[in-house]
Amino acid sequence: MPTLYLTLLEEAMRLVMLCGLLLLSACQTTIEAPTPQKLSTLFDYQLHDSQGQPMTLAEGAAKLADADVIMVGELHGHQGVHRFQA
């Protein structure tokens, strides 16, 4: 009789653990890359990593924190670009 009781208890625990895992997996969310906003003026900007994926300003600053040299693409002859360079 004790063996049957332990077997039933083990099966019940497995069922509880399986249900718990299923419930936890329902709470999972996916992390999506930020979608770049459309640029409406030359004062707007977008940042992209070396693979061309968009990133936030905070992510860009964190990646550049230890850099010795930073290359920046620009449009010549526009006031917004000159402000960025300053």
For residue 41, tell me if it sits in a domain. no
pTM reported for the whole predicted model = 0.38
Reported as a pLDDT band with limits 50, 70 and 90, residue 34 is: low
For residue 39, tell me if it sits in a domain. no
Residues 54 and 24 in one domain: no
For residue 38, tell me if it sits in a domain. no
Distance separating alpha carbons of residues 1 and 4, to the nearest angstrom = 5
In this structure, what token pair is assigned to residue 17?
A: 């653990």
For residue 37, tell me if it sits in a domain. no
For residue 35, tell me if it sits in a domain. no
What is the mean pLDDT of the segment spanning 11-31?
84
Q: What is the pLDDT of residue 74?
A: 62
Query: In whole numbers, what is the pLDDT of the chain averaged over residues?
Result: 78
Q: What is the pLDDT of residue 75?
A: 62
Domain range for 9 is 1-30
Counting the structural domains of the chain, the total is: 2
Residues 23 and 52 in one domain: no
Compute the C-alpha angle 75/77/49, nearest 5°.
20
| Span 37-79, pLDDT tens digits | 677 776 777 888 888 888 888 998 898 888 888 877 666 666 7
SS (H, E, C) 26-81: HCCCCCCCCCCCCCCCCCCCCEECCCCCEECHHHHHHHHCCCCCCCCCCCCCCHHH
